[in-house]
Amino acid sequence: MILPIVGYGAPILRKVAQPIDQSYPNLKELVANMYETMYAADGVGLAAPQVDLPIRLVVIGFRPYDEKTDSYGEVTEQHTLVNPEIVAFGEKKDYYNEGCLSVPDIHEDVLRPTTVRVHYWDEDWVEHTDDATGLYARVVQHEVDHLDGKVFTDRLSNLRRTMLRRKLNDIVAGKVHTKYRMKRAK
């Protein structure tokens, strides 16, 4: 089931999400819905607060995009992260052009470490520690920020953010068109 995505300006995107335990009901169903929602919106990551749930849960998935046919291939890499914690950051940083399903039509270069070590459980409550690199390292940092009430535009310079103010205000006001369903900020 595709879930509506909460837009920039919604208070839930500013709250620190809470860890869950094994008593959390219907976790696998929720995870499946989050993947479906993410892929339908052409996203590569989705955090539970973006579907209006204040819990520490993230899904990440990558598929090759074919420009000729304007379509996506099979999923090549997928991670479900329950209660993720970044336990180490690599020293090297670089810029990458980020976007966010909660912040439509804004893409900005964000400086972050290129590698991180992340500790988490999957949807079967199997514990993992991954040394993430490349796009995985990038997306996991973006998504864990969501769990801590942060949005990628918070990491831009004051000047950049000022320049984006009108576009951000339009998202808060619901004046934005997306191919996926959005939930107005309450």
According to DSSP, the β-strands at 108-113 and 116-121 are: unpaired
Do 182 and 135 contact (CB within 8 A), yes or no? no
Closest contact distance (angstroms) between CB of 130 and Zn ion is 20
Find, among 84, 66, 82, the residue nearest to 74 by Cα.
66
58 binds Zn ion (CB under 5 A): no
Gap between the Cα atoms of 177 and 59, Å rounded: 24
Residue with tokens 């964000």: 110
Gap between the Cα atoms of 38 and 107, Å rounded: 17
Closest contact distance (angstroms) between CB of 102 and Zn ion is 5
Residue with tokens 């892929």: 39
Closest contact distance (angstroms) between CB of 23 and Zn ion is 28
Catalytic residue among 29, 74, 123, 143: 143
Gap between the Cα atoms of 99 and 88, Å rounded: 24
Count of helices and strands (H, E) across the chain: 4, 11
What amino acid occupies position 141? Q
Which segment (83-91, 95-103, 119-127, 132-140) binds Zn ion by CB under 5 A? 95-103
Active site residue 143: yes
Measured from the CB atom, the residue of 13 and 30 that comes closer to Zn ion is 13
Closest contact distance (angstroms) between CB of 142 and Zn ion is 6
Measured from the CB atom, the residue of 34 and 100 that comes closer to Zn ion is 100
Q: Which of residues 139-178 bind Zn ion (CB under 5 A)?
A: none
What amino acid occupies position 70? D
At residue 171, the 3 state secondary structure works out as: helix
For Zn ion, which residue of 5, 34, 100, 137 counts as binding (CB under 5 A)? 100
Measured from the CB atom, the residue of 27 and 100 that comes closer to Zn ion is 100
Which segment (21-29, 73-81, 99-107, 163-171) binds Zn ion by CB under 5 A? 99-107
Measured from the CB atom, the residue of 104 and 121 that comes closer to Zn ion is 104
Measured from the CB atom, the residue of 20 and 145 that comes closer to Zn ion is 145
Binding footprint of Zn ion, residue count (CB under 5 A): 1
Tell me which residues are annotated as active site.
143
The residues of the shown chain that bind Zn ion, judged by CB under 5 A, are: 100
